[in-house]
Structure 1
Amino acid sequence: MTLADIFEINDPICIEPAIMDCADSEYTRFLLDGDYSAAKLLVDENEDPIAAAFLEEGGWTVTSFVFRPFSVEVLERIEALDGDIYQEERSNYLAALREYYCGEIVKEYPDVIEDNREGRYEMIESLFKSLNLRPGSEIKDGKSAGDGAGDCAAKPTAIDFCCGSGVATSVLRDFGYETLSFDYDAALISCGIQRKRLEPSRAMCLDGTRASDFCPKCNLGIGLMLGDITNFNADMWEDIIYELFELSEKTVISTATKPERERVAGWCSDAGRRYKITENDRDPIYDSWVCVSEE
């Protein structure tokens, strides 16, 4: 299901250039400056407004309110245009929104270089098996990654932080997890989508320090091959790791060096999480040390 399907319109364009911009209320002001001839309001299963579409000379413009407050002024514009009201489950709309932005990313980065090396999938698969990450024990209350709903989910949920081109995501999905993945490098997201490791409806280009603004809580959080953690950038990585802790019941983090390992251990302690760090010889370049922590 696409945004076009949901609104029953052709070739919609989102006024927000990227999914992170959907949290910026400035785009509500931009929207209200437009000259429109028709409008549609989308509400979710609880009848809360989550998006709107406006017709102008160049076509349909869509704006989203899943990550920022809905505006009374927007409602007034829709009513003035005698706009129609549509209803869709919030989870379906979020999936369509992610798919739209992933499509834009692939258009922007059509030619990508494969960043995955031979055997990486098997290394991660073996690591996850050794950590007993097969679905089962991770489900507590049916949280659903991707929609934030409280309804019982059929699958355990996992978020792949800084997912790169999605190798770990593909392992988790093959294990049976419902995955949600993000990375700040749009070219890597494009690579993962084109290589079928990432699903467009379940991937985002996102700053990890703002993950909790765009992701629901999950059963399992993964942060593999985190970038070099140094004195210069430690504050940034600390913010990302705390977002990972905030969103996941269990987390798996891998680092390359002992100093990085010690930083992660300190952050686990500061967050009050139970943790265990083990040495990993499957991939000594990136995953030398693996930290598993729980709430």
Structure 2
Amino acid sequence: MTLADIFEINDPICIEPAFMDCADNEYTRFLLDGDYSAAKLLVDENEDPMAAAFLEEGGWTVTSFVFRPFSVEVLERFEALDGDIYQEERSCYLAALREYYCGEIVKEYPDVIEDNREGRYEMIESLFDSLNLRQDAGAKTESPLTAIDFCCGSGVATSVLRDIGYETLSFDCDPALISCGIQKKRLIPSRAMCLDGTRASDFCPKCNLGIGLMLGDISNFNADMWSDIIYELFTLSEKTIITTATKPEIEMVAGWCADEGRRYKIIENDRDPIYDAWVCVSEE
């Protein structure tokens, strides 16, 4: 289901240029500056407002309140236009919103270079099997186990997680890699985002498993940035798997695990000595 389907409109354009901008209150002000002739308000299953669409001369403009507070001024504009109210599950709207922005990314980056190398999928699959992730995903539960792929690149690890039974959510800060993953069918547009990892908890729900593969280069120079990303990973995930190329890097990760009071173990991995030579598995 797309934003157009949800609002029953043609060719909607989000006023926020990028997914992360949906958290910026400035776009509420931009919206209120418009001249509109019709409006639609979208509420979730709890009847909380989560988005609105306004019709202006150039077409329908959509704005989202799933990551920022709803505005009384927006409600007043909606009521003044005698707008229509629509209802949808929040998870369905979020999926449509992610799909919209992924579509915009693919339009902006149509020509991509394949960054996956032969055998990478199998190396990750073997590592995950050795850590019993397939067994965990196959356990009888009321709903599928959830996983977030931090710094997902073009989505090779995401595709492995999905194939072994996890419900995945993925993000990377590089839109070209997101575009590549979508075009290569490793990333699903409704389950992928272009995000700054230091703000992951603003946009992602908690999950059973969080992974960060091929992290690095982690050094004293950029340790603050990486620690912020990895602390976000810890905040969101019950179990976390992080891989690095070198032992000093994984030892820094282990230190951050200890700082957060997480139980952890370090494993040397010979499946991919270039990127995943060292593995840190931690739990809350």
Give the TM-score normalised by the residue count of structure 1.
Answer: 0.93
CA RMSD of aligned residues (A): 1.9
1:52-83 Cα offsets, whole Å, 9 max, x none, are 00000000000000000000000000000000
Bigger mean CA deviation after superposition, 257-266 or 189-198: 257-266
Does the 8 Å contact 2:138/2:165 carry over to 1? Answer: no
Taking a change above 3 Å as real, the CA distance of residues 261 and 27 of structure 1, as seen in their structure-2 partners, is: same
Gaps of 5+ in 2: 141-145
What is the match of residue 42 of structure 1? 42
- Tell me by how many angstroms 1:261 deviates: 1.1
Distance in 1, Cα, partners of 2:66 & 2:131: 35
CA, structure 1 residues 218+26, in 2 after alignment: closer, same or farther (shift >3 Å)?
same
Partner of 1:291: 280
Identity among equivalent pairs (%): 91
Unaligned runs of 5+ in 1: 135-150
* Contact residue 211 and residue 242 of structure 2 kept, 8 A: yes
Report deviation, 1:154.
11
Note the alpha carbon deviations across 1:119-175, whole angstroms, 9 max, x for none.
Answer: 0000000000000111xxxxxxxxxxxxxxxx99999x0000000000000000001
Give how far 1:176 is off.
Answer: 0.6
Q: Distance in 1 between matches of 2:36 and 2:227?
A: 45
1:189 deviation in Å? 0.2
SS of alignment partner, residue 118 of structure 1: coil
* CA distance, structure 2, for counterparts of residue 256 and residue 132 of structure 1: 22
Indicate conservation of the 8 Å contact 2:137/2:166, yes or no: no
Q: Secondary structure at the match of 1:263?
A: helix
CA distance, structure 2, for counterparts of residue 152 and residue 9 of structure 1: 38
Moved over 4 A (4+): 151-155
Q: In 2 relative to 1, CA 154–46 (structure 1 residues): closer, same or farther, beyond 3 Å?
A: farther
2:15–2:63 Cα contact (<8 Å) kept? yes
SS in 2 for 1:252: strand
Distance 2:258 2:103 in 1: 40
Matching residue of 2:24: 24
Do 2:210 and 2:236's aligned partners in 1 also have CA atoms closer than 8 Å? yes
Post-superposition Cα deviations, 1:257-287, rounded to whole Å, max 9, x if no partner, equal 1110110010000000000001000000000
CA distance in 2, matches of 1:19, 1:154: 34
Question: What does residue range 93-132 of structure 1 map to in structure 2 within 5 Å?
Answer: 93-132=93-132
**CA distance 1:262–1:154, change in 2 (3 Å):** closer
CA contact (8 A) 2:137 2:164 kept: no
TM-score (norm 2): 0.96
Q: C-alpha separation between the residues in 2 aligned to 1:227 and 1:130? A: 23
Classify the secondary structure of the residue corresponding to 1:152: helix
CA contact 2:216–2:249 (8 Å) conserved in 1 = no
2: CA distance, partners of 1:194 / 1:14 = 22
| In 2: Cα distance, 1:94 partner to 1:203 partner | 11
Distance 2:137 2:114 in 1: 37
The alpha-carbon deviation at position 227 of structure 1 amounts to 2.4
Distance 1:229 1:153 in 2: 34
Q: Distance in 2 between matches of 1:25 and 1:187?
A: 27
- Please give the secondary structure, in 1, of the residue aligned with 2:151: coil
Worse overlay, 267-276 or 222-231? 222-231
Cα distance in 2 for residues equivalent to 1:152 and 1:10: 39
Cα distance in 2 between the residues matched to 1:153 and 1:117: 28
SS in 1 for 2:279: strand
> How far does residue 232 in structure 1 lie from its aligned partner after superposition?
1.5
Distance in 1, matches of 2:162 and 2:152, equals 13
Aligned length, in residue pairs: 278
